[in-house]
Structure 1
Amino acid sequence: MSTDDAVTTSEDVEDTEQSLGPAQLKALAHPLRIQILDLLSAHSALTASGIAELVGESSGSTSYHLRQLARHGFIQEVADRGTGRERWWERRPGGFRLGLPEDPEDVAAIATSLTVALEFEKARARKIQSLLENSQTLDREWLDVTRLTTTALWLTAEQMAEVGAAWEQFSDALDRFSHQEQTPGARPVQVHFNLFPLVDGTENPS
């Protein structure tokens, strides 16, 4: 999920993005649906029963939420795979963009946007926590190339924009690693990049 507004976060699968409309945003504002969407990003394709095992829910529940995600254009059925009883699902190509509503009086829309953004951030935090708690299950070669880095800086808004542009250029370069689900030796990985002003800080006078 990506936003150009006061709160920004990104969930990109390919190099194209769409802006979420009110109906899509409302459909996504459910913790389990965000968890399902996040799993499909990491695992490429899953069935309702496979997702149910991962999230501890019934396959009936995951099937319902998968249909809602598909209805609003977030996911799609995998062509030529599965049966009528066992359908495979994947994320649709492209990322999506979420911005805070322009109307500061639209309390409901603001709350929905924040709910979606916070759930995605919780999903990211769970991945890092899982890595730290289960690092002993990974081979040394994977741990040696793992990086968890925080860089603290003082920047102007213009400099932040420059850093963001540099990240976008780097992110575009990662396209050469797309579609490696069947590549020998490959496993799901994620690259996280957060760039934001500290809200408890103060801006230096000009």
Structure 2
Amino acid sequence: MTENQTPDDDTRVQRVVEGSALRALAHPLRVQIYDILSQYGPQTASSLAQMTGESTGSTSYHLRALAKYDLIKEAEGRGTARERWWERPRGSVTFGSTEGLKTPSGRAATQVVMTEFFNRRHQQLMQFIADGIAHPDDEATSMITTATARLTDEQMGELNRRLMAVIDEYVDAYRDQTGEGVRVVSIRSDVFPLPEEGK
């Protein structure tokens, strides 16, 4: 799984999180904190405590654990001696590697991270669907779609590249946009083979 953020310059930064860093991330609250920083930008232990329902002591502890493996860093130019701001470094991130998935600990850590990540994203999607009934204007500008096709591995790869190119274009152009009417938007794209019939 890949999570995207705009790089600071035109060079697309990509990191594979594996080994000790992946095992450090493999905790439900750490995945939640990491995802909040990815979606909403820099936060403090206090703001994360409010967003997660945890204590400030707990979020501080998990922030330090994430920072130890360079999964997050202090936000430059923000904060005081009493209040530290944390952010996720820019660039795309892939959780797990082909080599790492060959070990039981690598598979287990990858499964925990991906399960927690997608559970959180699924809860956000279901909340949007529930809220959509009360806010029909959002339905007009949003898209939730699914489709099925019969593709070869090469065709799947080409589809993935084309989808990522469009997503990267918008992330690069608008990641740090602020102003009236601007909201944080989740962009999802799933391309994967279905189980064989009868299995």
The answer to whether the 8 Å contact 1:101/1:110 transfers is no
Q: Indicate how the Cα distance of structure 1 residues 67 and 114 shifts in structure 2: closer, same or farther if over 3 A, else same.
A: same
Percent identity at matched positions? 35
Match of 1:128 among 125, 147, 150: 125
Moved more, 99-108 or 149-158: 99-108
Show the 5 A alignment for 1:55-70: 55-70=52-67
Rounded Cα–Cα distance in structure 2 between residues aligned with 1:85 and 1:137: 41
Please give the TM-score of this superposition, normalised by the length of structure 1: 0.85
| Residue 111 of structure 2: aligned partner | 114
Please give the TM-score of this superposition, normalised by the length of structure 2: 0.88
Show the 5 A alignment for 1:125-164: 125-135=122-132, 138=135, 140=137, 142-164=138-160
RMSD: 1.9
SS in structure 2 at match of 1:19: strand
**5+ long unaligned stretches in structure 2:** 7-11
| Residue 6 of structure 1: aligned partner | none
| Residue 183 of structure 2: aligned partner | 187
| Residue 9 of structure 2: aligned partner | none
Looking at secondary structure, tell me which structure has more helix per residue: 2
In the TM superposition, residue 170 of structure 1 has moved relative to its aligned partner by 1.0
Moved more, 149-158 or 170-179: 170-179
The answer to whether the 8 Å contact 2:75/2:87 transfers is yes
SS in structure 2 at match of 1:79: coil
Rounded Cα–Cα distance in structure 2 between residues aligned with 1:104 and 1:191: 26
Rounded Cα–Cα distance in structure 1 between residues aligned with 2:85 and 2:160: 35
The answer to whether the 8 Å contact 1:48/1:62 transfers is yes
Match of 2:3 among 11, 19, 25: 11
- The number of aligned residues is 192
Would you identify which runs of 4 or more consecutive aligned residues in structure 1 move more than 4 Å?
136-139
